Structure formats: C-alpha cells, structure tokens
Chain A
C-alpha cells in the first residue's frame, strides 16, 4: 500500500495473518465426519499410508484452490457410496473470521461459499487464502520434462495475475492456429507470408509478457531460494535456478523468422516460450544427475519455501504451508534445520503429515511453538 501524505511517500507493508481455526468434513473421501480445531502455528497428522492423513491435507488445499491436488474430478472426493460431501473451514484472516465452505454433489456444479454467500466465479476465491503445498510428487519437477517446470512457474503467476493467465491461454491458442497453418501449407504445397505473419504477431503479443513475468519471478525468488537451501542443508554448495529461454539471446521476432523454413519442414512451431525451461543446478551442475537424493529433497523444499516468500510478499498475506509426507526422505539433521526455520516468524501456520508419530514428536520436542497432534487411523481422526 502506498500513502501520500504531505508530499512524503510512506510505504507501508503490513502482512496479514491467516490461519485455519477449524475444519469440518462430511463424507469427504475416506474421512469420517469430523470437526478439528487447530493450532495457529504447527499441526501434525500422523498415521499409516492410506489412513487418510493426506486427504486432510487435500481438504485444506481445497479450501484455498477450490480443487483437489490428488484427483482431477470432484466426484472422486465424495465418500464411496455417498452423493454429496462438504468441506468447511473457519479462518482467522487479520483477526476477522471467514467461513469458507465447499459443497460437492455428484453430477452437479460444486458450490463455494464465503460467509454464506456463493461465489459466482471460483477464480474470485483464488488468492484469498494463499497456500503452498510441499508433496512427494514435487520430485517430478526434477525428474520430468520441461513442461512440468513451465507449468510450475505459470501456476504461481496465474494465481497473482488474471492478465497473465489470459496471455497464457491466448498464446496456447495462437500456437495451435500457427501449427494448423504449417500443416495446411505442407499438405497443400502452398505458402502465404501474410497468413503466417498474423499468427507470429499473436505469438509475440501474448508470448512477450509471459517471458517477462517468468523471468521476473525467477529473479525474485532466487535469493530466497539460495538462502533457504543453505539453512536447510547446512551446505555451502551453491544452488542455482535459471530461467532459460530462446528469447534471452535473440528477439522472438527474429527467432520465428530465422526458423520459418525449419518450422515449415517440421510442421510445427519450434521456437517460443513454449520451449523454455527452468534449470536446476548444484555447484554448477544439473541437480538431476549430480544431486544426491537428500540434496534434491532440500532443493525442492527450498524452492517451495521461496515460492512461499514470493507469495507472501505479493499478497501481503501469510500463506498456509502444507508439508505432506515429506519427512521420509530427509535425514534428521535437515529436518531439524527445517523445523527451526518454520518456527520463526517468517512462517505462519504449518500442517505436517508423517507416518511415525513418535519420530515426529521427538523432532518437534525442542520447538517452543504451539504444536497440535492428530492421529489418523482408517479415516478416523483424533486429537492427541
């Protein structure tokens, strides 16, 4: 927020506190009807795999993003044999209570309510309750192809900026149109410069802002990321995060122009921001090949925490942090470092899930923050 007062410019950055006070679930996946009260700092769900602890994480994720991080279809979130499920969360948002409820009925549109008022468009809700999820599937960011990493960047940016999302959609469509035209030219043995140029222009119009926003995002999170990596791993080894684009060296216009013959032969568009990648490195080498499993885990964790810092700075609001089943692959030294970090004031409310209650409790013993434990067994959740 920027105030102008008597000619002096004050910049006032106040971070709003957000935490989930209680969660109520009805027929949600395998979880038995329950109402849980949470600590405003650290909450732990422990139970065996398949017990339902990840489903609790998913319910909290739902309340922020109106969708599951596990199932693409809402109907799969309804308990087997039931027609309807409900997720309700009471939040403390800057000392004000917000009631968010999601109601899913098989075969109907889901309804999301804020303080008993239905949202007309679900996108209007996204961003109200910022959230960062750390899950075992994060490893795909390292192991999978560049599409996964672009999706990650675009996902963060889309949450902030509906204009960015619009550019992304239009870019994708322009690309489909240009590729269709390239195929047509090949099939008809015909070429028409004006026809291809109009799609080049559309790619430029929507691609340049995407390139700019992605570059900005990477530059902004890099210092946080490097700092967090050091603090979690305790290593001195430098980690890198670099956005690589064909547009870094050559203008997009020239790229398209220079590769036109090639594109005509390939029948698709070989250059553009749809080919960009994010390079993950450790000590100057690709982490995928040169990082140990522990280093890769720390790397991803630091990345997610940097995303947290970025979100917090942009939204001026504390995101909720979900750490799903993460402890398995980190050694206890790193876990201790992480917990000390999370205990600090930079982080707000945290939810952790693990299979081993005794281990988790042992690690959290030295932490002064308020910790609330829940055991999960066959969908039954109990406060310990």
Chain B
C-alpha cells in the first residue's frame, strides 16, 4: 500500500509493527489520528513516550511500577505476610481484577523450561527466597499456569521453600483456570483464590 506522503508511510510502518495490527488497520488508524487536533495527537504521543520513560520494575516484586516500589507493595492495606507467585505481569492484572486477593505478589518472569533455555537462575527465584527470609512471610500462593512447565516450576519452588516451614497453597484445581490465568474469567479465578488448597494435597489429588 504505497501512499502519497512519506510521513503517512512512516506512521503506518510504526503502527503495523505492533502485534495484531496489519497494514490495512495501520492505515485506518493513521488516517484517524491525522483527523484529530494537534494537541490531542501530542498528548497521545506523549503518553506512549512517558510510559516508556517512567515505568520501571518494582524492586521487590518485579511488578510494573511508577517508582521504586509498585502500588501493591507500597499499599498499607495489603497483607504483608502473604505472597502470590505468578509468571508475569498479565497474571497480576487478572488476579487484581477479581478483588479477591489481598496479599502481595512476586513475579517470576517465566517458568522453568530447559528446551527454551530457561533454568531456575533465569527467573526471580533467589529474590523470592530472600523475601521469604526477610519479610516474615507465612503463606505463599502459587498461581502458575497448569501446564507441564508451570507444574514443574511449582514443584521446584516447593522444594526450595520447604526449609522455611511456611504454608504453601495453590489455586484450587477443580476450578479450571485453563492454561493461563489471563484467560480465566474473573468470577472463576476469584473463587479459586478464595478456595485455594494446600500445595501437597493438590499434587496427590491429581491422579
């Protein structure tokens, strides 16, 4: 799709580099933006640039954050003795949407998968162990996906955490959360957080 303007072409190229945006959609979006006021477009571009410039990872839990600590970690209302371990930030968004979880989080940044070159040292596992030691954690809810790799990572964590004598729980298995928390609906996910089960029981009841 050749256009008469080099500037339009550049904008279309930029937009179509986003996931899920084809060239036709990119052209439609670019023409739409062109029809907005100069001020609106400046705000739009600014919002994107500011997001990139200011967002950082929370130094405690690796959630997205505007400062050193994220909104969850710095909130006085959140239970300081409980952690929920998730794979990535999208899981936090899904769990927060349920309004059923009141503890804090720890983002691993993935799951163990040797065939993808991801071992325990590539995840934020050591940081988790430090937090358990330093922050007087009493319960960890493991909310990893129910894939082979997610299950294996939960098991690995349970081994590493066993020496601390804390309660390990997991999202109730009977309530299917699907492969990814992201796709579980809010009510189902909320219920499975409320009815979380001790980790050991969940392993034994699988067969």
Contacts and interface: CB of A to CB of B under 8 A. Distances in A.
A180 interface: yes
If over half of B's interface residues share one DSSP class (helix, strand or loop), that class is named, otherwise mixed; here it is helix
A178 to B, nearest CB: 7
Interface of A: 170, 173-174, 176-178, 180-181, 184, 192, 194-195, 197-199, 201-202, 205, 209
Given A176-B115, A180-B114, A209-B207, A194 B120 contact: yes
A18 to B, nearest CB: 33
A192 B206 CA distance: 27
A191 to B, nearest CB: 12
Which range contains the number of B residues in contact with the other chain?
10 to 19
Contacts of A205: 206-207
A252 to B, nearest CB: 14
B121 to A, nearest CB: 9
17 contacts: A174-B148, A174-B152, A176-B115, A177-B113, A177-B149, A180-B114, A180-B115, A181-B114, A184-B114, A184-B119, A192-B120, A194-B120, A195-B156, A197-B159, A198-B153, A199-B114, A202-B148
A199 B113 CA distance: 10
B3 to A, nearest CB: 32
A195 B148 contact: no
B155 A198 contact: yes
Given A177-B115, A180-B114, A198 B152 contact: yes
A198 B119 contact: no
B182 to A, nearest CB: 21
A192 B125 CA distance: 15
B119 A195 contact: yes
A201 B155 contact: yes
Contacts of B117: 184
A197 B160 CA distance: 12
Contacts of B119: 181, 184, 192, 195
B179 to A, nearest CB: 13
B193 interface: no
B112 interface: yes
B151 A202 contact: yes
Nearest to B160: A194
A178 B114 contact: yes
Contacts of A174: 148, 152
A198 B148 contact: no
Interface in B153-187: 153, 155-156, 159-160
A205 B154 CA distance: 14
A282 B113 CA distance: 46
Q: A-B pairs with the 10 shortest C-beta distances?
A: A180-B114, A181-B114, A180-B115, A198-B156, A198-B152, A177-B114, A198-B155, A173-B148, A170-B148, A202-B152
Nearest to B119: A195
Contacts of A197: 159
Name the residue among B114, B155, B206, B207 with the largest chain A CB count within 10 angstroms. Answer: B114
A171 to B, nearest CB: 9
A351 B160 CA distance: 60
A209 B119 CA distance: 28
Nearest to B207: A209
A202 B152 CA distance: 7
Nearest to B117: A184
B37 to A, nearest CB: 46
Interface in B105-140: 112-115, 117, 119-120
Given A195-B114, A201-B155, 6 more contacts: A173-B148, A177-B152, A192-B119, A198-B112, A202-B151, A202-B152
Given A170-B148, A173-B148, A184-B119, A194 B156 contact: yes
A88 to B, nearest CB: 36
